[in-house]
Amino acid sequence: MKSVRAFVFDLDGCVWNGDTLNPGAAAVLRALHEHGRRLGFITNNSRATGSDIRVRLERLGVTVADTVLTPLEIIGETIADRYGRSRVLVIGAAELADVVALAGHEIVAVKDYRRAAVVVVGNDFELSYERLTAAARAAAAGAPLVTPNVDPRLPIEGGDFFPGCGAIIAAVATAAGVEPIVVGKPEPPLFEIALRRLGVGAPEAAMVGDSIPSDVVGARRVGMRTVLYAPDGVPPGADAAELVIGSFADLARLAGVPATAG
């Protein structure tokens, strides 16, 4: 880790849980930055842009982000690249519909789901059976099913969680009998964009996250070093990561920054 030029961090479950930073996170991130490491943050959040997440980081005292990325940065362009300008049914937050519309697509109302050429499903705090049915029927009729991520849970404070985007997309995909197209982690685009913005090659960067299938698998696909954050003990499959840490203090020590930083 001492030779790593840039660290890329997952957020939910790694840097924070809900609105609470994990122990040592702010101090160690600041110490890494002060010692010349570039810092990126990538999250599968389907309800916020990179700018939104940066504001949230700064509100919690993390002011050292060199780049922040979410799938909302690229989902509209991904649809355009694959299918051209399209009529899109969006099941998810208003922010998700906004970025799809900004990319030049027409947003289709739930009641008009039969007009949809593409279905986009994100985490939806107002999910209803009507919305679930519309998405499944449109996808079953042939509209490609696109999602920011397939993470089953959204970790929050106190060890609790909300059902994640993956839980909703699983219901839609199962009912429709199709497989979703994933834009966020573990697919390569967010990792590759983060590396370009940080100005480093994949072997010079390490991904730090708490999810093996999302963070570790995705980072390995693009050739990054991998660090699994596991504060509650080593989980099954942890050998997929190069290193396992139990705290941010462990990361500071391995990276060669002052131990007092953590």
pLDDT, tens digit (0-9, with 9 covering 90-100), for 3-41: 999 999 999 999 999 889 999 999 999 999 999 999 999
Burial class (CB in 10 A: 0-12, 13-18, 19+), 197: middle
Task: List where CATH 3.40.50.1000 sits in the chain.
Answer: 6-72+185-261, 75-182
- Determine which one of 10, 124, 210, 250 is catalytic: 10
Residue 259 pLDDT > 80: no
| CATH fold group of domain 75-182 | Rossmann fold (3.40.50)
Residue 185 pLDDT > 70: yes
**Residue 218: what pLDDT?**
96
| CATH code for the structural domain at 6-72+185-261 | 3.40.50.1000
- Determine which one of 12, 151, 210, 215 is catalytic: 12
Q: What is the mean pLDDT of the chain?
A: 94
**Residue 177: what pLDDT?**
98
**Residue 262: what pLDDT?**
42
Residue 105 pLDDT > 60: yes
Split at pLDDT 50, 70, 90, the class of 102 is: very high
pLDDT, tens digit (0-9, with 9 covering 90-100), for 206-249: 999 999 999 999 999 999 999 999 999 999 999 999 999 999 99
**Residue 20: what pLDDT?**
92
Residue 163 pLDDT > 70: yes
Q: How far apart are CA 32 and CA 260, in angstroms?
A: 12
Residue 70 pLDDT > 50: yes
Q: At a CB cut-off of 8 Å and minimum separation 6, what does 34 contact?
A: 257
**Residue 118: what pLDDT?**
98
Residue 260 pLDDT > 70: no
For this structure, is 12 an active site residue?
yes
For this structure, is 10 an active site residue?
yes
**Residue 193: what pLDDT?**
93
Q: How far apart are CA 226 and CA 108, in angstroms?
A: 40
What is the dihedral sign for C-alpha 25, 28, 34, 39? Answer: negative
